[in-house]
Chains A and B, each alone.
Chain A
Amino acid sequence: MTYDVLRIYSGRRYLMAKVTLEVNGKKVSKEVPDHTLLSVFLRDNLNLTGTHVGCDTSQCGACVVHVNGKSIKSCSTLAADVEGSKVTTIEGLAKDGKLHPMQAAFKKTHGLQCGYCTPGMVMSAVDLLQTKKNPSDQEIREWLEGNICRCTGYQNIVAAVKEAATKM
Chain B
Amino acid sequence: MASLVGSRVERKEDTRFLQGKGRYTADINIANQTYAVFVRSPHARAKIKSVDTSKALKSSGVVGVLTGKEIAEDKIGGLIAGWAIRSEDGSEMKVPANPPLAKDVANFVGEPIAVVFAETLDEAKEGAEKVKVDYKVLKAVVDPADAMKSEAIHDGVDKNLCYDWLLGDRKAVDEAFSKADKIIKVDLINNRLVPNAMEPRACVVDYNIASEEITLYTTSQNPHLSRLVMSAFGNVAPENKLRVVAPDVGGGFGSKINVYNEEIVCSWASKKIERPIKWVAERTESFLTDTHGRDHITHAELAVTNDGKFLGFKNETIANLGAYARVFGTVTPTYLFGPCATGVYIIPAAYSNVKAVYTNTAPVDAYRGAGRPEATYTIERLVEKAAMELGMDKTEIRMKNFPTQFPFKQTLVHTVDSGDYVAGLEKAKQMADYAGFEARKKQSEANGKLRGIGVSSYFEACGIAPSAAVMSLGCGVGLWESAEVRFNPTGQISVFTGAHSHGQSHDTTFAQIAADELGVPMENIDVVHGDTDKGTFGMGTYGSRSLTVGGIAIVNACKKIVEKGKRVAAKMLEVNLDEVEFKNGEFVAIKSNKKKTIGEVAFACYLPGQRDEMKSPIPEGDEPGLIESSFFDPANFSFPAGSHICEVEIDPDTGNVKVEKYTAVDDFGRIVNPMIVEGQVHGGIAQGIGQALHENTQYDETGQLMTASYMDYTMPRADNFPEFNLGFTCTHATSNPLGVKGCGEAGAIASPPTVMNAVIDALGGQEISMPATAEKVWEACKAMKKSNAKAA
Contact = CB atoms under 8 A, between A and B. Distances in A.
Interface of A: 10-12, 33, 43-44, 48-57, 59-60, 62, 89-91, 93-94, 99, 103, 106-108, 110, 112-119, 122, 137-138, 140-142, 144-145, 147-158
A52 B14 contact: no
A124 to B, nearest CB: 10
Contacts of A62: 198
A153 B683 contact: yes
Contact of A90 (B20, B248, B724): B20
Given A141-B719, A145-B718, A106 B18 contact: yes
B19 A94 contact: yes
Given A57-B711, A151-B251, A152-B683, A115 B717 contact: no
Contacts of A116: 22, 24, 197-199, 250-251
Nearest to B682: A153
Nearest to A62: B198
B119 A50 contact: no
A104 to B, nearest CB: 8
Contacts of A12: 60-61, 120, 122-123
- Nearest 7 CB-CB pairings of A with B: A50-B20, A116-B250, A115-B17, A153-B686, A114-B503, A153-B682, A59-B710
A107 B18 contact: yes
A9 to B, nearest CB: 8
A150 to B, nearest CB: 5
A141 B60 CA distance: 47
Contacts of A140: 718
Given A57-B283, A91-B19, 17 more contacts: A10-B61, A10-B120, A52-B24, A54-B198, A54-B200, A59-B709, A89-B20, A94-B19, A107-B15, A115-B22, A115-B503, A145-B717, A148-B710, A149-B718, A150-B253, A150-B683, A157-B718
A62 B196 CA distance: 14
Interface centre among A55, A103, A118, A145 (most CB of B within 10 A): A55
B719 A138 contact: yes
B499 to A, nearest CB: 15
B682 A152 contact: yes
Interface in B481-521: 502-505
B683 A11 contact: no
A137 B723 CA distance: 9
Given A12-B122, A150-B715, A153-B686, A118 B679 contact: no
B687 interface: yes
12 contacts: A10-B123, A11-B123, A33-B122, A50-B19, A50-B22, A93-B19, A99-B19, A116-B197, A142-B718, A153-B686, A155-B721, A156-B679
Contact of B718 (A10, A43, A57, A158): A158
A106 B20 contact: no
B42 to A, nearest CB: 19
B685 interface: yes
A153 B751 CA distance: 13
Contacts of B123: 10-12
B21 interface: yes
A103 B61 contact: no
B250 A115 contact: yes
Contact of B14 (A54, A90, A107, A147): A107
Contacts of A156: 678-679, 682
B302 interface: no
A105 B58 CA distance: 54
**Chain B binding site: helix, strand, loop or mixed by DSSP?**
loop
Contacts of A145: 717-719
Interface string B714-737: 010111010110000000000000
A119 B197 contact: no
Given A11-B119, A51-B20, A113 B505 contact: yes
Nearest to A47: B29
Most buried by A among B26, B282, B685, B719: B719
B682 A155 contact: yes
Contacts of B120: 10, 12
B503 A110 contact: no
Contacts of A148: 198, 710, 715, 717
A53 B283 CA distance: 9
A84 B679 CA distance: 41
Residue of B24, B197, B250 most packed against chain A (CB within 10 A): B250
A49 to B, nearest CB: 4
A72 to B, nearest CB: 17
Given A54-B200, A113-B679, A151-B503, A60 B710 contact: yes
Contact of A110 (B122, B502, B678, B709): B678
A44 B687 CA distance: 33
B718 A144 contact: yes
Give the one of A103, A154, A157 with max B CB within 10 A. A154
A144 B715 CA distance: 13
A152 B675 CA distance: 12
Contact of B196 (A52, A141, A150): A150
A154 B686 contact: yes
A48 B675 CA distance: 30
Contacts of A93: 19
B250 A52 contact: yes
A114 B61 contact: no
B175 interface: no
